[in-house]
Structure 1
Amino acid sequence: MVLSQTARFAGRMFDKAKGSEEPDAEKPLRHVAIIMDGNGRWASREGVTRLKGHQQGVEAARGAVEMAKELGLTHLTLYSFSTENWSRPDWEVQHLLNLLRQFFAKDLKKLADQGIRVKIIGDRDTLPDDIRGHVEEAEARTADNPGYTLQIAFNYGGRDELVRAVTKIASRAAAGQLDPADIDEAVLSNALDTGGAPDPDLIIRTSGEQRISNFLLWQAAYAEFVFLDCFWPDFTREEFLGAVEQYQARTRRFGARP
């Protein structure tokens, strides 16, 4: 994609974010979700450690957070640690946990000052106690912020989320709080970790892989997918804008005729 085209597109999207132009009714872009993949392969290519790859991935995530604000999104979801990632070597898992701790220590204040709401989605029960405390503090501290919502998927798996949601609904039904006949898509959606958030319009995956990897299985039913060849640490403003431009060029039918 030509850089001048990217710049013009960024300007149009930024104008929409400021309210000077009505968003496209057919393709409103509210929620972008990103599978941040390729830190390890980036590290191998660069001849550095996997730890360095993850650290560079954090820098790319910070850039995506800034771009979401510029583009006027209502939600940005970043897939940072899956339920399957516990199977990695302990030293790597501990490093990823420490990166989340560093996020709370270094980034939370800036996000709060910018008016961004922070939400952590995933299974919290198996997280270390100190991280669970940080999660609760971050969400409480930013709950009333007027800006967009940053959802960080940590210890997250789509199947695990669905099981937990169904268990929650079953418990309500068993307690007489919910008539099973009233269970519909809205009830299930609201029981998910993402309850209350719009489904993603666009899901981006880096590193050249073309699979969903247990990410937002229910929510991604009608999302548009863009698969990029770049590794996550190489994900730049231009890559983000290019993916959004691909989204804008598509026709979303939702099962109906255009």
Structure 2
Amino acid sequence: MKERLDLHNLPRHIAVIMDGNGRWAKRQGAARVFGHRNAIQAVRETTEGCAEIGVQYLTLYAFSTENWNRPKAEVNALMELLVSTIRKEVGTLQKNNVKLNHIGNLDDLPGSCQKQLHEAISQTQHNTGLTLTLALSYSGRWEIMQAARNLMKAVQEGKMAPEALTQELFEQQLCTHPIPDPELLIRTSGEMRISNFLLWQLAYTELYITEVLWPDFRREHLYEAILSYQQRERRFGKTSEQINLSKQG
């Protein structure tokens, strides 16, 4: 599958909704947290797979603002798993020249999680390969509200006029700035929704839905998604004829 990829037509930015851990665990007759623990290999293979072929940005939807409403025992177990995983994986990130990044409301996370995340981000900040962004305590609506509040404050303080607002200025207030919008969104487990993820950024993103549950996701599944992306025509509201003419020009 890897050999079939066009390495000159890779998506610069891939986003992933990692779904299906609970169902995977249920099939094993185990608690949901068992699925979360077994999903670490999928994260590792996806990250390394992207780094190896030259994808520049990978964003993983790890924990949404709505996930705080899950049973307390599951949330606590997830937070403990997050701390231990970040601590263990820093060496792998360094070996693969991966720079770690974060989006979301970091203040909502337990102190131990914040500490490990800050340390890992600091240790990998000079890496020049793939940028791996973890979306933790994140949601698209939360992000857009934060951006709107920041702009309203700037207007109130006389730093900008309402009519001066442009799409570019709004995007500068988003968590993901200056990372480019994803060209490809992968969602595992077959669910047909984007679950409040990168709502602004996904405006023209190609969607790839797979029935594979996240703990079973491997490099070959990543390559299948990229190959599907490469077989599509991205028009951004234009016609095929317009796209072909621009290529010829």
Normalised TM-score (structure 1):
0.88
Give percent identity, aligned residues only: 41
Q: CA deviation at 1:34?
A: 0.5
Partner of 1:9: 4
> Partners in 2 of 1:221 and 1:131 — Cα distance?
31
2:148 to 153, 166, 186: 166
Could you tell me which runs of 5 or more consecutive residues in structure 2 were left unpaired when the two chains were aligned: 241-249
2:195 to 208, 213, 217: 213
After superposition, the Cα gap between the structure-2 partners of 1:144 and 1:182, relative to the gap in structure 1 and judged at 3 Å, is farther
Pairwise CA distance, 1:138: 2.6
Within 5 A, what are the aligned runs for 1:178-189? 178-189=160-171
Alignment RMSD = 1.4
Question: Which aligned segments of 4 or more residues in structure 1 are displaced greater than 3 angstroms?
Answer: none
**Structure 1, residues 146-172: CA drift from partner, whole Å, max 9, x if none?**
111100011111101111111122222
What's the counterpart of residue 246 of structure 2? none
| 1:246 equivalent in structure 2 | 228
Q: Does 1:256 align with 2:224?
A: no
* Contact 2:87/2:120 (<8 A) preserved: no
| 1:67, distance to aligned residue in structure 2 (A) | 0.7
Among 32, 37, 40, the alignment partner of 2:14 is 32
Q: Alignment partner for residue 77 of structure 1, among 59, 66, 72?
A: 59
Contact 2:87 2:116 (8 Å CA) reproduced = no
* Residue aligning to 2:119: 137
Per the TM alignment, residue 140 of structure 1 is displaced from its structure 2 partner at its CA by: 2.7
Corresponding position of 1:149: 131
Q: After alignment, is 167-176 or 157-166 more displaced?
A: 167-176
Q: Which residue identity lines up with residue 3 of structure 2 in the other structure? A: R
- Structure 1, unmatched stretches of 5+, are 1-5, 14-22
Give the letter aligned to residue 29 of structure 1: P
Matched position secondary structure for 2:11 = coil
| TM-superposition CA deviations, 1:176-206 (whole Å, max 9, x none) | 2233222111111111110100000000000
Whole-Å Cα distance in 1 between the matches of residues 16 and 97 of structure 2?
21
SS at match of 1:151: strand
Structure-1 residue corresponding to 2:50: 68
TM value normalised by structure 2: 0.91
For 2:221 and 2:186, how far apart are their aligned partners in 1? Answer: 10
Indicate the SS of the match to 2:121: helix
2:36 matched residue in structure 1: 54
SS of 1:125 mapped into structure 2 = helix
Measured after TM superposition, the shift of residue 30 of structure 1 is 0.5
